[in-house]
Amino acid sequence: MTEPKGRCPNCGAPSDPLFKPFCSKRCKDVDLNRWLKGVYSIPVVEDDDLPMPDDEDGHA
């Protein structure tokens, strides 16, 4: 049984095992460049934005 091939997230071409999940070095480098330029980002919740839990001892 053969493993089904995935698709490149950049261009939709079949992925190459050497560059998985991408189809080529070019698509892999395009994706890396997007991360480095800040096009992609992971949302972060700052600690200051979180509600403080109630302190049972009355200390902050």
CB 33 within 8 A of CB 22: no
pLDDT (0 to 100) of residue 1: 46
Q: Distance between CA atoms of 50 and 18, rounded to whole angstroms?
A: 42
Token pair 């261009």 is found at: 11
- Neighbouring CB atoms inside 10 A of 17's CB total 8
CB distance 10 to 19 below 8 Å:
no
User: Is 20 a residue whose pLDDT tops 60?
Assistant: yes
Q: pLDDT grade, residue 47 (50/70/90)?
A: confident
Q: H helices within 5-55, ranges in order?
A: 25-37
Checking if the pLDDT of 60 tops 60, the result is no
Residue 23 has pLDDT above 90, yes or no: yes
Least confident of 21-25, 35-39, 46-50: 46-50
Task: Using a cut of 0.75, tell me whether the model's pTM lies above it.
Answer: no
